[in-house]
Amino acid sequence: MARHLITSAIPYINGIKHLGNLVGSQLPADLFARYQRARGHEVLFLCATDEHGTPAELAAAKAGQPVAEYCAEMHEVQARIAEGFRLSFDHFGRSSSKQNEKLTQHFAGVLADKGLIREVSETQMYSPTDGRYLPDRYIEGTCPNCGFEDARGDQCDNCTKQLDPVDLIDPRSVISGATDLEMRETKHLYLRQSAMKDELEAWIDSKTDWPVLTTSIAKKWLNDGDGLQDRGITRDLDWGIPVKRGDEDWPGMEGKVFYVWFDAPIEYIASAQEWVDAGKGDDWQRWWRTDKGAEDVTYTQFMGKDNVPFHTLSFPATILGSGEPWKLVDYIKSFNYLNYEGGQFSTSRGRGVFMDQALEILPADYWRWWLLSHAPESSDAEFTWENFQSSVNKDLADVLGNFASRVTKFCRSKFGEVVPEGGTWSKAEKDLTLYLLLKLKKYEEQMEAMEVRKAASTLRAMWVAGNEYLQDAAPWATFKEDPEQAAMQIRLGLNLVRLYAVLSGPFIPDAAAQLLEAMRAEGADWPDDIDAALEALPAGHAFAVPDVTFRKITDAEREDWQARFSGKRD
């Protein structure tokens, strides 16, 4: 039995995630976790909410709530929606946890001891009226480029020019509107990533099996321009993990917090500690410490492309730089972007379909299937309502759902709700099992390699083969001349329903469970042997006709949804 540690990029707290976020991180991670569990391996699947930083403060202010309270509520909301999508996390933690605070302070202390942290003096906007430094996003003013009056400190939304707060004409505080802003000197900690460039590069170079998307982004950051830069890991904010050197205060760093991208990946480890502290597990170190049992763990991370630099360079710099025996990632599966109807999904602009809305209109499996079978792997992909309707109707309703329904209903009408007896396999059945055997091996290889789209298409090919077999065998016609042969065909069909349920579980867990229950299948073990799997339900075994597994999406619904989700979410 292998041991798999699996993490999904942790979703940011400032709102409900869209379908792009889902397919770029949590959903494929869940697919892989479910597959490895189905293969009998030991899995620890972790995720969390990413709660620190300015956008969380801004979102809380907009909601009129204290930021801690806002984050606690949004965490619950995200956890509930994740359950709705059947994301099978062993633990869904919070980067604002006590465990993460301690661990983040620990890493900063160890890195400082190793000489990998330096102090830098810089100037930053300070607002005496607000009594605080203002991050770029807290400053607005007139754009020097286009004259737009509400340009932000980091960028003008009108002309898209990247800005520095000092560029703005008549800058003002977003919090109070105060205009008496001044530049003040402030000290920050920088992680000396540049000192670790060679070590990081050698490590990346050793990962010859990683997706090109992952390694090409890492290489770009390592070598473009002046090469890998040191990175500020502290901020003048209230909301975040207080800067400490291990358990000790850090002279000169009073009132400062760690930068959100420093503490967020450390939460992958802290989430395992939270899992234990919540009484769900008894040993987190055997997953995370190579000196305490984690040397045989395979660790896989899932994320969208914008997260790759932090996972290939910054977080490994923290882990490697500590010199402590922490588990390093073995494989980083990264994704391109899913776009929405000719544009981008966007949380800030409320564009696209969001996870809560998706579940209001259709069950999780419909979305899981479409998203995974169209995952943006080798390039960006696009969600359109037409494509969604046609894929769901073809793959799920016409192929899988229809197969289960025809086989079970025909059996009930001619033989009753028990697996019928008699008949022997002919060439058609042997050909089918051989085909399924080949496809199954392919499916396993693709799932192991996390080739999500290809695995979906292989699974679909197995469903299609069953449908074609049924069409050709035509038990309804056979029955008239040779009821025993028809019984054999239907017996095989019922066993195929069970087999499909077992194999489809990672993609469409609810439908899989529903079909297994209807088939009254005792075990749902992964098939070692196709022939045996196709005789798992013996003659005389009782079953029930399942309720409709998948329904079709009508044109009227599609048009309705297309209109409803064309504007901005409020």
Ligand X SMILES: Nc1ncnc2c1ncn2[C@@H]1O[C@H](COP(=O)(O)OP(=O)(O)OP(=O)(O)O)[C@@H](O)[C@H]1O
| Token pair belonging to 470 | 């049924």
Q: Is 411 annotated for ligand binding?
A: no
Residue 114 Cβ vs Zn ion, minimum distance, rounded to whole Å: 43
Q: How far is the CB of 237 from ligand X (least distance, A)?
A: 18
Query: Is 143 known as a binding-site position?
Result: yes
| Cβ 20 to ligand X shortest distance, Å | 3
First to last CA, the chain: 48
Minimum Å gap between C-beta 78 and ligand X is 9
> Strands 331-335, 297-304: parallel, antiparallel or unpaired by DSSP?
parallel
Q: Is 54 annotated as a binding residue?
A: no
Residue 165, binding choice from Zn ion, ligand X, none, Cβ under 5 to 8 Å by partner class: none
Residue 148 interaction partner, one of Zn ion, ligand X, none, beta carbon < 5-8 Å per kind: Zn ion
Q: How far apart are CA 384 and CA 183, in angstroms?
A: 48
Residue where the block lists tokens 């990962």: 207
Sequence-distant (≥ 6) Cβ neighbours of residue 116 within 8 angstroms: 191, 192, 195, 196, 317, 321
- How many CB atoms within 10 Å of residue 334? 27
Residue 12 binds what, of ligand X, Zn ion, none (CB under 5 to 8 Å, by partner type)? ligand X
- Compute the least distance from the CB of residue 483 to ligand X, in Å: 53
Please give the structure tokens belonging to residue 59: 């979102």
Q: Annotate each residue in 16-45 with x if it binds ligand X (CB under 6 A) or - if it does not, as one string.
A: -x--xx-xxx--------------------
Residues 6 or more apart whose Cβ sits within 8 Å of residue 532: none
Asked whether the beta carbons of 433 and 15 are under 8 A apart, the reply is no
The site partner of 146 among Zn ion, ligand X, none (C-beta below 5 to 8 Å per kind) is Zn ion
Asked if residue 347 belongs to a known ligand binding site, the reply is yes
215 labeled binding residue: no
Q: How many residues bind ligand X (CB under 6 A)?
A: 20
Task: Using the minimum distance from each CB to ligand X, give the nearer residue, 319 or 332.
Answer: 332
C-beta of residue 552 within 8 angstroms of C-beta of residue 362: no
Positions 302 through 331 that interact with ligand X (CB under 6 A): 303-304, 306-307
Token digits of residue 547: 């309720």
Residues β-bridged to residue 120: 188
Q: Residue 148 or residue 203: which is nearer to Zn ion going by CB? A: 148
Cα 154 from Cα 472, distance rounded (Å):
64
Binding segment for Zn ion (CB under 5 A), chosen from 53-61, 142-150, 226-234, 512-520, is 142-150
* Choices 141-149, 242-250, 360-368, 549-557; region in contact with Zn ion by CB under 5 A: 141-149
Q: Is 53 in the site for ligand X (CB under 6 A)?
A: no
Cβ–Cβ under 8 Å, residues 91 and 272: yes
285 binds Zn ion (CB under 5 A): no
For the bound state, the minimum distance from the C-beta of residue 227 to ligand X, rounded and expressed in Å, comes to 24
Token pair, residue 299, equals: 């660790």
**Locate tokens 């290489």: which residue?**
219
Partner from Zn ion, ligand X, none binding residue 265, C-beta < 5-8 Å depending on class? none
Q: What is the signed CA dihedral for 77, 79, 81, 84, rounded to 10 degrees?
A: -140
Query: What single-letter DSSP state applies at residue 394?
Result: I
Q: Are strands 297-304 and 3-8 parallel, antiparallel or unpaired?
A: parallel
Cβ atoms of 486 and 414 within 8 Å: the answer is yes
- Among 335, 369, 469, 561, indicate the residue that binds ligand X (CB under 6 A): 335
- Establish if 347 lies at the interface with ligand X (CB under 6 A): yes
* 168 contributes a contact to Zn ion by CB under 5 A: no
Encoded tokens for 418: 């028990």
**Sites of contact with ligand X (CB under 6 A):** 9, 11-12, 17, 20-21, 23-25, 303-304, 306-307, 335, 337-338, 345-347, 376
- Binding positions for Zn(2+) are 143, 146, 156, 159
**Sites of contact with Zn ion (CB under 5 A):** 143, 145-146, 148, 156, 158-159
- Binding positions are 143, 146, 156, 159, 347
- Binding positions for ATP are 347
